Amino acid sequence: MSSSLNRRHFLSVAALGLGAATLAACGGPSTSGAGATAATTDWSKVKPAAKITFMSSHPGKSADIEAQLIKEFQAANPGITVDLVTGGANYEEVAQKFQTAQAGNNVPDVVVASDVWWFRYAIADTVVANDALLKAVGDATGGFNATLFGDYSYASKHWAVPYARSTPLFYYNKDHFKAAGLPDRAPKTWDEFSQWAPKIQAANAKKPGYQHAYQYPALAGYAGWTLQNVLWGQGGGWSKEWTLTANSAESVKAMQWVQDTIVKDGWAGVSSKDAVSDMTAGAVSATVSSTGDLVGTLKAAKAANMNIGVGFLPGGPVSASPVCPTGGAGLVIASKTSPERQLASAKFVSFMTNAQSTAKFSAATGYMPVRTDADMAAVLATTPQIQVALDQLKVTRSQDYGRVFLPGADQEMADAAAKIMNQKADVKATLTALQDKLDGIYTKTVKPKLKA
């Protein structure tokens, strides 16, 4: 199976399945262990624990709003105390700390889990399926955005609830665009922006510290997420369902275009740390970043007397829409805790993601509200740009299976992107090497777990 992830084999996965969407749709394999235990526990006979721990990376600079929501939860549930723990600066650091904790008996009860981590937890039985728990605490899960909640479905169960959910947005400096004589909007396609970029760069080149018309986001960890937009627009992708396509002609063409914008055309750069910070510092005119950066970016821009606009991600010559992936993180409940702590955790998870809380979280960060009944009127009155994210959610596309369901694939994609974008490596050769590595992940990590 050199380059194809055969669907029949994925349907037979027992301990390390890979197809959340497909497996859920087809019933998939049943899981034992934590999920089964949670489903069969008589929760009416369990008393919630007096204290639980919530491990977070505070996505979107959300430490303050998380602390506020915890206070509100404790006021509504005076018998439960929540200890907020910083698990790291990003999703990957939280994941590593949660994994390390499995070796001992002191695991956090509720953990922020990114789009590339929740499934690994589910198949490793380090988290519990939450359907029975949410029912036990009276959560009307039908109020969740069906797409966002459905992202966590595997083997007919849900293993996380949506929390800090996002899509990438196109951020741009309105004043820089105006100086170039351009319309006050995001480009409809990357081809259109290719025509705009030299004008933007020429019009703003003499500004102190100015570098580029466009800045690609920092590659470590998330290049595989944002670059899907360019790949899809060119008809490529990391995979097409279960078939790996990282080195397809379309993918090579897309990544060659990316390299050319940096090396040949010279109007784009790559952020070493934070592209939106580069933009609010006046160094670049546009970038792509998470909706979770929206509120913080607008505040920073206001402090710098800068006008920032946001828009949909640009399309490509093959596909103008949908070319925007969903992303972000959900909340999982650890399996290596007592039923009492799991029940208290379910109460907390339900509260943190209810209609009122998700509206407050969205207002503070820019992340999308995860409940359809969330009242966003007050939020939109103060931050109308959030409407762009809500509108774009309607035309999003599920992420490539090759990124989300192959353990470690996201980092391999980031490493390949770094070679192409920072080291001027041959695009086709680099993507072929990536294809081989992805296939190796399947052969070494997945295939041995498949039933005959």
Reply yes or no on whether the pLDDT at 2 is more than 80.
no
Q: What is the torsion angle, in degrees rounded to the nearest 10, for the CA atoms of residue 265, residue 417, residue 59 and residue 241?
A: 110
* 361 plus 263 within the same structural domain: no
* 320 plus 332 within the same structural domain: no
* 275 plus 348 within the same structural domain: no
* 321 plus 407 within the same structural domain: yes
Mean pLDDT in residue range 439-452: 74
Decide if 256 is inside a domain. yes
pLDDT of residue 9: 47
Domain extent, residue 251, equals: 168-325+401-448
* 303 plus 443 within the same structural domain: yes
pLDDT band (50, 70, 90) for residue 242 = confident
* 192 plus 246 within the same structural domain: yes
Decide if 389 is inside a domain. no
* 138 plus 196 within the same structural domain: no
* 282 plus 361 within the same structural domain: no
Q: What is the pLDDT of residues 305-342, one digit of tens each?
A: 999 999 999 999 999 999 999 999 999 999 999 999 99
pLDDT band (50, 70, 90) for residue 17 = very low
Amino acid at 132: A
CA distances from 449 to 14, 197, 318, 320, 358 (A): 7, 49, 37, 39, 38
Look at residues 212, 197, 184, 349 and name the one whose alpha carbon lies nearest to residue 271: 212
* 252 plus 355 within the same structural domain: no
- Give 284's strand partners: 212
Decide if 7 is inside a domain. no
* Domains in the chain, number: 2
Decide if 369 is inside a domain. yes
Identify the CATH number of the domain in which residue 280 sits.
3.40.190.10
* 289 plus 357 within the same structural domain: no
- 306 token code pair: 């800068």
* 333 plus 299 within the same structural domain: no
Decide if 1 is inside a domain. no
Decide if 292 is inside a domain. yes
The region that residue 243 occupies, defined by phi over 0 for left and psi between -120 and 50 for alpha, beta otherwise, is beta
Rounded distance between C-alpha atoms, residue 149 and residue 143, angstroms: 10
* 47 plus 78 within the same structural domain: yes
Rounded distance between C-alpha atoms, residue 321 and residue 315, angstroms: 6
Question: How much of the chain exceeds pLDDT 70, in percent?
Answer: 90
Decide if 12 is inside a domain. no
Decide if 62 is inside a domain. yes
Q: What is the pLDDT of residues 150-159, one digit of tens each?
A: 989 888 899 9
Its pTM stands at: 0.87
